[in-house]
Amino acid sequence: MVKRHLSRIYMTLIFLFLYLPLLMLMVLSFNRSKSRVTWGGLTLDWYRKCFENERIMSAFSTTLQVTLLAAVIATIIGTLAALGIFSMKKRNQTLYLGATNIPLLNADIVTGLSMMLLFVRFMNLGFVTVLLAHITFNIPYVILNVLPKLRQTSRATYEAALDLGASPLLAFYKVTWPQISPGVFSGFLMAVTMSLDDFSITYFTKGAGINTLSTMLYTELRKGVSPELYALSTVLFFTVLLLLTAANLHPEPVNPDSPRRLRRKSHIKRAVSLAVIALLTGGSLFVLAGSTSAAPAGKDRVLTVLNYGKYLDPRVLKEFEQKTGIQVRYEEYESPEEMYTKYKAGSIDYDLICTSDYMIEKLDKEGELLPIDYGTLAHYDNIDPRIIRMSEAFDPRHDISLPYFYGTLGILYNKKEVRPEDVESWSCLWDHRFKGDMIMTNSVRDAFAPALITRGYSINDTDPGHLQSAMELLAAQSADVSAYYVDETCDEMAAGNAKIAVCYSGEAAEAMEVNSDLDYIVPAEGSNLWIDSWIIPKTCSQRKNALLFLDYLCEEDVAMTNFSYVFYASPILSVIRDQKPAYRTIEAVTPSSSTIDRCQVYRALDDDSAALINRLWQQLKTE
């Protein structure tokens, strides 16, 4: 009796461990307030926003397409393979099964990157590469489910059918198939499960603008969580709950008790399973039909754009697509170094890239950039000539870059916890009072800049000794740092999870809009002033459309919409003129001229210094 109670309690505890987190997401999805701890009243708004959110919906439909196509193809190839392997000699069987086990035993990350290494040699990464990868890791599950069933079949019945005059195909259909079909079916379901949940392999094999739910969520989570995701998780949870309880798909423990009940059960099971398949196929056909009609296709009308995260209002993209009929494949990155790798990998041919000053200088030196013909831009005069002059630091001839946004690196702090005089100098980053309450930037050069300045060097210093001493300073800081973030900083500071953070001015401005206790300061010793600009890389095949896109961004209305979304200092004259007067005095939105005078622009590092600084950074992270 005691034992029974104990086991009840134990089950309940694990049950709570599994479900409380999900329950929390569900509750939050109905919360009007964006905060995760205060209740702002009941709302269904997040559900509406979730269904209207194009990124979520397109990731959802890609996930369904990949999952279904991959599972169907893998089931066909896998079942044929199982039939073939079954009729082989023992030695060949062992060989095949050994190879089949490779994707199962190998770590996902290795499977994913190995395929990426091969794919980039022969094709652009995209939907097809993801599909190929998914089929590859699905096939083994099908084979391992079908083979045991084949081993249970009796060869004698099949041969009897042949003797009675059935053709091999008919004999297979009438005799073998009924015996192996449950195995084929459970293999198919496992393939679906694995595909739906995969992250690592998709992450390495996906191309620009293609996202499954997992990879979309990964990028979104790094940018900070929006409540639409709570709604999404609730919807998914109930869909899964409905499908699974209806189908009871889980392989039943076969008990040799009552064969009659079992048989009836299997009939029901098959009926429900068929219904599920029909539902899934129907759903995905619907989605496929929807997506093909929405995409005008035609390769010359697709523009591939690479930009920082949260750096372009999705509405602007949508309007551009509607207005011009050009489809934009849009991809985001977090740090300039990540962009450089993505571009240099050559796995995706980008048409337009937005990146920072020193990276532009580096790419230009490597001869990677095409000149921009400003004459074709009708709205070029809308760009502040001051900023164009400033960008001559990295684009001396001014022929390869078009300024997009600019800003500073500084400190965002919570006025309730920190006095302004405590953060006037970069030395506050080594103030132990902020232990565990300090967010450091996760971008290499921006992390080294404060340390170099504190040591009295320039932010462009490349002397190995100086870099080493800056790294020692950063190492002394790391015990006090609560996290290294870039795009997550805004969210975390707005939620009050830290007292101070090193971040970009625009990030700070956004956080200050949400939480009025926050303020932004550029320390007295000076800092980095950066200018993010658009460039056209050598891989561009859509020069005319790329220029069309750039011109569109400089239009007055578009620039204003985009500014209110991005919230960094804009070099567009009409935006400077029309923005709320209050913004002009906020340091985080519009850097004052005294700040600009104190700041320096980053210069490109030579390869050796870049490698050294990267190595020091990794060393810091593991210590």
Partner 1 sequence: MNRRFRPLLAGPYLVWIVGFTILPLLAVVWYAVTDKSGRFTLGNLAAIAAPTNLHALFLSFGLGLITTLICLVLSYPLAMILAGMNIRNQSLVVLLFMLPMWMNFMLRILAWKQLLSKNGVINTLLGALGLPEIAILNTPAAVVFGMVYDFLPFMLLPLYNSMTRIRQDWLEAARDLGANDIVIFVKIILPLTLSGVISGIVMVFVPSLTSFAISQILGGGRVLLIGNVIEQDFMQAMQWDEGSGLSLVLMIFVLVSMALMNQFDREGGRTALW
Q: Candidates 49-57, 128-136, 361-369, 420-428: pick the segment binding partner 1 (CB under 8 A).
A: 128-136
Is 115 a binding residue for partner 1 by CB under 8 A? The answer is yes
Q: Candidates 302-310, 330-338, 397-405, 509-517: pick the segment binding partner 1 (CB under 8 A).
A: 330-338
Among 16, 242, 274, 345, binds partner 1 (CB under 8 A): 345
Q: Candidates 98-106, 361-369, 410-418, 574-582: pick the segment binding partner 1 (CB under 8 A).
A: 98-106
Distance (Å) of CA 376 to CA 324, 391, 402, 440, 540: 16, 20, 13, 42, 17
Among 1, 14, 42, 582, binds partner 1 (CB under 8 A): 14
Of residues 154 through 193, those in contact with partner 1 by CB under 8 A are 168-169, 172, 190, 193
Q: Candidates 143-151, 364-372, 385-393, 396-404: pick the segment binding partner 1 (CB under 8 A).
A: 143-151
Is 217 a binding residue for partner 1 by CB under 8 A? The answer is yes
Angle at 590 between CA 572 and CA 426, to 5 degrees: 135
Q: Closer CB to partner 1, residue 38 or residue 594?
A: 38
Is 358 a binding residue for partner 1 by CB under 8 A? The answer is no
Q: Are 175 and 157 in contact (CB under 8 A)?
A: yes
Q: Closer CB to partner 1, residue 84 or residue 385?
A: 84
Give the containing element (helix H, strand E) for 163: helix 155-163
One-letter amino acid for residue 332 of the chain? E
- Smallest distance from partner 1 to CB 70, Å: 12
Give the containing element (helix H, strand E) for 619: helix 607-622
β-pairing, 500-504 vs 369-370, is: unpaired
Q: Which two three-digit tokens encode residue 302?
A: 């697709």
Is 200 a binding residue for partner 1 by CB under 8 A? The answer is yes
Of residues 25 through 64, those in contact with partner 1 by CB under 8 A are 25, 28, 36-37
Q: Closer CB to partner 1, residue 483 or residue 596?
A: 483
β-pairing, 529-537 vs 369-370, is: antiparallel
Of residues 72 through 91, those in contact with partner 1 by CB under 8 A are 77-78, 80-81, 83-88
Q: Closer CB to partner 1, residue 151 or residue 389?
A: 151
Among 131, 213, 302, 453, binds partner 1 (CB under 8 A): 213
Among 46, 311, 484, 530, binds partner 1 (CB under 8 A): 484
Angle at 260 between CA 259 and CA 266, to 5 degrees: 85
* CB count in 10 Å sphere of residue 583: 17
Q: Closer CB to partner 1, residue 24 or residue 295?
A: 24
- Smallest distance from partner 1 to CB 117, Å: 4
Distance (Å) of CA 215 to CA 200, 314, 396, 576: 8, 18, 39, 36
Strand positions, DSSP E, 210-255: none
Is 346 a binding residue for partner 1 by CB under 8 A? The answer is no
Is 279 a binding residue for partner 1 by CB under 8 A? The answer is no
Query: Residue 328: what are its φ and ψ, rounded to 5°?
Result: -105, 120
Applying CB under 8 A, the site for partner 1 has a residue count of: 114
- Smallest distance from partner 1 to CB 464, Å: 18
One-letter amino acid for residue 227 of the chain? P
The closest alpha carbon to 427, from 477, 379, 461, 466, belongs to 477
Q: Are 29 and 227 in contact (CB under 8 A)?
A: yes
Among 57, 150, 166, 196, binds partner 1 (CB under 8 A): 196
What would you report as the CA-atom Rg of the chain, rounded to the nearest whole angstrom? 29
Q: Candidates 43-51, 274-282, 496-504, 537-545: pick the segment binding partner 1 (CB under 8 A).
A: 496-504
Of residues 461 through 480, those in contact with partner 1 by CB under 8 A are 478
One-letter amino acid for residue 97 of the chain? L
- Smallest distance from partner 1 to CB 84, Å: 3
Q: Which two three-digit tokens encode residue 231?
A: 């709604």
Among 53, 65, 67, 100, binds partner 1 (CB under 8 A): 100
Q: Are 477 and 437 in contact (CB under 8 A)?
A: no
The closest alpha carbon to 236, from 210, 208, 217, 209, belongs to 217
Q: Quick one: how many helices (H) and strands (E) in the chain?
A: 27, 10
From residue 394 to residue 413, what is the string marking binding to partner 1 with x (rule CB under 8 A)?
--------------------
From residue 587 to residue 616, what is the string marking binding to partner 1 with x (rule CB under 8 A)?
---------------------------x--
The closest alpha carbon to 442, from 400, 481, 497, belongs to 481
The closest alpha carbon to 526, from 602, 618, 443, belongs to 602
Q: Closer CB to partner 1, residue 172 or residue 330?
A: 172
